[in-house]
Amino acid sequence: MMQPSRQEYEQKKEWERQQRQDHFRVAAGMMEFLGVVLGVVGILVLVALLISLISWLSQNVSGTFSLIRTQLQ
């Protein structure tokens, strides 16, 4: 049986190292994409809450002023 040469061994190890590095790059890219998607969803939720707050505040202010106006008449 023939043993692989030192050069073949080092080439195999380098190929395996490259494969591991590629897997980590793919995983890092997927995590970055997931972070962006979650960030956008979080921003949309916060915008919806802000719109809801502004809507509630405008209704409350108009209701308060109408109540004050009826009390003064």
**pLDDT tens track for 13-70:** 999 999 999 999 999 999 999 999 999 999 999 999 999 999 999 989 888 888 788 8
Two structure tokens written together for 35: 């972070």
Two structure tokens written together for 21: 């590095």
Task: Give 2's Cβ-side CA count (13 Å radius).
Answer: 5
pLDDT class of 2 with cuts at 50, 70, 90: low
Task: Look up the pTM and report it.
Answer: 0.66
The reported pLDDT for the residue numbered 71 is: 78
In angstroms, the CA 21 to CA 14 distance is 10
